[in-house]
């Protein structure tokens, strides 16, 4: 659907809450910015195809932003939103956690609620079957360390224990990616001679194919229509 046109049947605006979901928009329609930007405190653009947040700066009074089930990736750019308390980015295409939390910390100084479920940046079985509870907990420590004023992360409240552990260990929980190495290495039959004329240890061919992966149980379930990351937030928490 062309973003310059608004489907009035999909549009809802009540009590400073603007919802425009399921319209396959690739960006925020300019008409929404012009008509409602100065009034909106809660903006729900779930189930679109949004790739850019250009124009979001027009919603300067935003306190809650729901962008679940879109096409946002690591190139995402946020404007400064000084009143934003809730940000939900579930089920997008964000992989670089370090870059994302730096942007969030810089642009949303009072953010209390953040949800990143079903992004590669959130390492649990919703994004990668090889991840387990320990991977997810390390991610939580890192995010809480970087954004210490968070009260909720994904579907869980930030506990006092987590906050204490994050202060001590969070800095070291950053996931480092291995450098990209061209796939042009030596074959098994002809190992490369290392510096100093030494050869690497021979490979144990008898062990090939015997490795068994271990999988943990995931305690997080991602269901529902809109605003999945906020289903667990009570009115008393706002």
Q: Is the pTM of this model over 0.75?
A: no
Average pLDDT along the chain: 79
Q: Find tokens 């396959």 and name the residue.
A: 24
Q: Which CATH number does 11-177+213-233 carry?
A: 3.80.10.10
Angstrom distance (rounded) from CA 94 to CA 118: 9
Angstrom distance (rounded) from CA 213 to CA 137: 20
Q: What percent of the chain has pLDDT over 70?
A: 66
Domain ranges of the chain: 11-177+213-233
CA distances (Å), origin 110, targets 85, 114, 148: 6, 11, 10
Top pLDDT among 210 and 100 is at 100
Question: CB-based contacts of 101: which residues, under 8 Å, 6+ apart?
Answer: 142, 143, 146, 147
Contact 213, 131 (CB under 8 A): no
Residue 207 in this model has a pLDDT that exceeds 60: no
Which of 70-79, 132-141, 160-169 has the largest mean confidence?
A: 70-79
Angstrom distance (rounded) from CA 220 to CA 113: 17
Reading the block at residue 169, the tokens are 């260990």
pLDDT classification of 171: cutoffs 50, 70, 90:
low
What count of Cα atoms within 13 Å lies in the side-chain half-sphere of residue 91?
A: 19
Q: Tell me the per-residue pLDDT of 2-45, one tens digit each, with 9 for 90 and over.
A: 445 789 999 999 999 999 999 999 999 999 999 999 999 999 99
What is the predicted pLDDT for the residue at 228?
Answer: 54
Q: Tell me the per-residue pLDDT of 67-123, one tens digit each, with 9 for 90 and over.
A: 999 999 999 999 999 999 999 999 999 999 999 999 999 999 999 999 999 999 999
pLDDT classification of 169: cutoffs 50, 70, 90:
confident
């Amino acid at each position: 659907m062309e973003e310059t046109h608004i489907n009035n049947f999909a549009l809802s605006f009540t009590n400073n809450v603007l919802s425009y979901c399921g319209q396959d928009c690739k960006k925020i329609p300019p008409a929404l910015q012009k008509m409602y930007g100065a009034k909106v405190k809660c903006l729900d653009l779930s189930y679109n195809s949004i790739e850019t947040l250009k124009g979001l700066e027009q919603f300067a009074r935003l306190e809650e932003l729901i962008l679940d089930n879109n096409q946002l990736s690591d190139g995402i750019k946020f404007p400064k939103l000084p009143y934003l308390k809730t940000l939900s980015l579930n089920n997008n295409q964000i992989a670089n956690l370090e870059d994302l939390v730096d942007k969030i910390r810089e642009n949303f100084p009072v953010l209390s609620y953040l949800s990143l479920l079903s992004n590669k940046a959130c390492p649990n079985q919703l994004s990668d079957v090889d991840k387990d509870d320990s991977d997810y907990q390390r991610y939580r420590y890192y995010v809480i360390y970087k954004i210490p004023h968070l009260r909720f992360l994904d579907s869980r409240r930030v506990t006092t224990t987590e906050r204490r552990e994050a202060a001590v260990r969070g800095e070291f929980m950053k996931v480092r990616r291995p450098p990209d190495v061209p796939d042009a290495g030596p074959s098994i039959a002809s190992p490369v001679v290392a510096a100093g004329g030494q050869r690497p240890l021979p490979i144990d061919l008898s062990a090939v194919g015997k490795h068994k992966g271990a999988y943990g149980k995931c305690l997080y379930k991602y269901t529902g229509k809109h605003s999945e990351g906020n289903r667990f937030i009570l009115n008393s928490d706002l």
